[in-house]
Each structure stands twice: as C-alpha cells, then as structure tokens.
C-alpha cells in the first residue's frame, strides 16, 4: 500500500508601506496635526495590519501631537 501527499507552496509577497514626503511645518501651538498619505498595499490581498508609531492612524491619515524639533512617524505593514 502506498499513499502520496503533495504540498504546494505559494510565497507571500511583502506589502508596500508608503508615507508622505518629509515636510517642515510652522505652527503657533503644539496642537494635533493631521497628515494624510499613509497607505499600505499588498499584491496578495492579505494585508492584516497597519501600525503607525508616533501617532494614531485613521484611514490613511496620521493624527499626532507634535513636539518642537523632528517628529518621526513610522508606518509598518
């Protein structure tokens, strides 16, 4: 008696995370800023999470309260 099992492997592609270009902003107060343009796509259609450090993501818009100096927002998909 013989039995065979074939396992077919499909390689998952890495998603593309895109954030807007660096910018300088002059503000009168350190209040919330909303910055659009944070997107992630996945050619396999199985993107499970998008995580933004340095702010909170609502759709494709980052909400953050700035500090004086550089504010780094990092999108990981």
User: Does residue 25 lie within any of the structural domains?
Assistant: yes
Distance of alpha carbon 14 from alpha carbon 2, whole angstroms: 39
What is the pLDDT at residue 74? 98
Q: Tell whether 2 is covered by a domain.
A: no
Residue 41: give the domain boundaries. 16-76
CA distance 35 to 24: 12
41 assigned to some structural domain: yes
Q: Is 67 inside a domain boundary?
A: yes
Residue 20, both tokens: 């807007």
SS3 6: coil
Asked if residue 7 belongs to a domain, the reply is no
pLDDT attached to residue 36? 98
> Mean pLDDT of residues grouped by 10 in the chain (77 residues)?
96 96 96 98 94 97 97 97
Tokens of 2: 């013989």
The answer to whether residue 31 is domain-embedded is yes
Residue 36 covered by a domain: yes
**Which alpha helices (H) appear in the chain, and where do they start and end?**
none
Instruction: Judge whether 56 and 64 are in contact, CB under 8 Å.
Output: yes
| Total number of domains constituting the chain | 1
């Amino acid at each position: 008696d013989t039995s065979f099992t074939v396992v077919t492997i499909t390689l998952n592609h890495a998603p593309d995370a895109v954030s807007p270009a660096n910018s300088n902003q002059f503000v009168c107060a350190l209040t919330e800023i909303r910055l659009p343009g944070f997107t992630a796509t996945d050619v396999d259609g199985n993107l499970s999470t998008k995580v933004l450090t340095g702010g909170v993501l609502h759709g494709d818009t980052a909400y953050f309260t700035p500090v004086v100096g550089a504010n780094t927002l990092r999108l990981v998909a």
